[in-house]
Amino acid sequence: MAVEQVGQVGRTKSVKAFEEIISKEKDYAPAYNELAKLHLLDHSVNGRQRAMRMIQQAIATAPYNVEYRLTRGKILWHQGFRSRALNQFKDVIEKHPNNTDVLNGLGMFWVYEFLRIKDNTQTRDFRGFAQEAKQEAIQVLRKSIQLDGTNQTPYYLLGILYFEDKYWDAFHALMQALRTQHPDDKNALLFCGLAAYQIGEFDESHGYYQRALDLMSVEERELLDSIDLLVPGEGHASRNTTQTIDELLKREMFWKRQDPLYLSKFNERKMAHFGRMAYANLRFRRFSDDVEGWQTDMGKTYIKFGRYRRRRTFFFSVGGDPYRAFYRMMETWYYETFKIEYCGNGADRWSFCGGFEVGQVGTRNHLVTPFGKHPNALSIPT
């Protein structure tokens, strides 16, 4: 009964329900496993530690259960112990080679490892390791798709890999396969539009973007079609459904001024904006709680400023002990005249924590944000 209620009632109520079960039956492993997954959703150091204690209890009761070991691997991943998570996934996959959850976990590890090596300018001598990570990711993710073509996760991960490696034909074919499985999915259509744009099929790309717009809610359509992330904070076109004629004209005039060519039937600058939105949803989607990429801080930054010139990721463990859970993760995006910093809280949860002009001392007086939330934010020209 408690398992059926997960997702239907609040996390706190679900936790209490499973704790009550354990108080009556201390060796009931499924309750410990569900508690571990619920505590992981707390997205805090303490939450991850509680999750690990719960899953260790489940494994102690049922040491050969695949699901419990997979949960432990996911917790290790979110704690920052990527190598230990990898070993856990490998151990499970040896005994259960067709488990798609484990294959996707391995694929996520290798995709992020590829990105880490590729983007870190200090590791250019280690490009062989990046290629090795890429091949490992391709192998497990393709197998996952073969076993379950309806699961979107391996398409996303493999799509990130193909896009970052500029493997455009493979990226295009992959997104077409995703659309075949999910013909009415707006993200599949957005990704097809992004893929078509990369191979020079601009009319096809425009068609996919328009079809994606037709499948979106009013709120999503306004977000994709808005200029809020591209112009200064004052005088944005309203996102309300009851926009005035002046507001609509203002938005159209903005896109016309941004259009580098006037001969095509669609606006090239707007197409590029749609492409940024599509890429943000592909690259920065939060798998842990299923949040759209363009709703994340990293996604919003990418939409406004485009791709970083370089990127660096740092992990800081408590007391410098490599065997303890990471309590702080930071990532920095470097642009031409400024940089933006993010604080990590879990494997795929990054939030804006500072932006600074290049050459400036990192103080709160030099904050820049694409969101306009911070009172000391300064505006960077787009």
Provide the domain limits for residue 319.
308-382
Over range 11-22, report the average pLDDT. 89
In a domain, residue 303? The reply is no
What pLDDT sits at residue 359? 61
Structural domain count of the chain:
2
Cα diameter, the chain: 73
pLDDT over threshold 70, residue 274? yes
Among 96, 112, 135, identify where a domain stops: 96
User: Which residue, among 340, 343, 353, 259, has the nearest Cα to 307 in the 3D structure?
Assistant: 340
Write out pLDDT tens, residues 323-382. Answer: 444 556 788 999 988 999 988 765 567 878 877 666 655 444 344 455 554 433 334 443
Write out pLDDT tens, residues 35-54. Answer: 999 998 887 778 888 999 99
Q: What is the CATH number of the domain that holds 45?
A: 1.25.40.10
In a domain, residue 245? The reply is no
In a domain, residue 10? The reply is yes
In a domain, residue 240? The reply is no
What pLDDT sits at residue 188? 97
Across the beta sheet with 326-334, the strand order is 310-317, 326-334, 338-344, 350-357
User: Is residue 216 classed as helix, strand or coil in its secondary structure?
Assistant: coil
In a domain, residue 377? The reply is yes
Among 96, 126, 141, identify where a domain stops: 96
In a domain, residue 140? The reply is no
% of residues, the chain, pLDDT over 90 = 39
In a domain, residue 353? The reply is yes
In a domain, residue 59? The reply is yes
Tokens 């996102």 correspond to what residue? 239
Among 74, 96, 118, identify where a domain stops: 96
DSSP readout, 297-308?
Answer: HHHHHHHHH-S-
